[in-house]
Amino acid sequence: MIRRRLVVRGLVQGVGYRWSLSREARRLGVHGWVRNRSDGAVEAVLEGADEAVDALVAWCRSGPGGAGVSGVEVTTEEPEGLTGFTIEP
């Protein structure tokens, strides 16, 4: 199991990014959460099997249609054993 924290920058708010990320996370069996930040970025914590989390991180680099991702900062953290996937405000 691996845990990654992402900060996704660019045109990522108001384009369905959080909803699309949540749907993709559930499809891949990745747990965690996603939220908008006040600086216009989207932040997410992803936990799960290495391959699934890596696939979701790769997806985040382009996001859904309509998004314009300019960069993704990825840090590795200690897994907490999260279950489910939530969209935070």
Give the 3-state secondary structure of residue 15.
coil
Select which of 3, 18, 23, 27 is catalytic: 18
pLDDT for res 88: 95
Catalytic residue (choose from 5, 9, 35, 36): 36
Q: Render each residue's pLDDT in the chain as its tens digit; 89 residues.
A: 999 999 999 999 999 999 999 999 999 999 999 999 999 999 999 999 999 999 999 999 999 999 999 999 999 999 999 999 999 98
Count the neighbouring beta carbons within 10 Å of the beta carbon of residue 88.
11
The model's pTM is 0.96
18 included as an active-site residue: yes
Give me the CATH topology for the region 2-80: Alpha-Beta Plaits (3.30.70)
What pLDDT sits at residue 89?
Answer: 85
pLDDT at 32: 98
Question: b or e along 56-82 (b: 16 or more beta carbons within 10 Å of the residue's beta carbon)?
Answer: bbebbeebbeebebeebeeeeeeeeeb
Q: Among this protein's residues, is 26 annotated catalytic?
A: no
What is the structure's pLDDT at 47?
Answer: 98
Angle, alpha carbons 69-72-78 (nearest 5°): 145
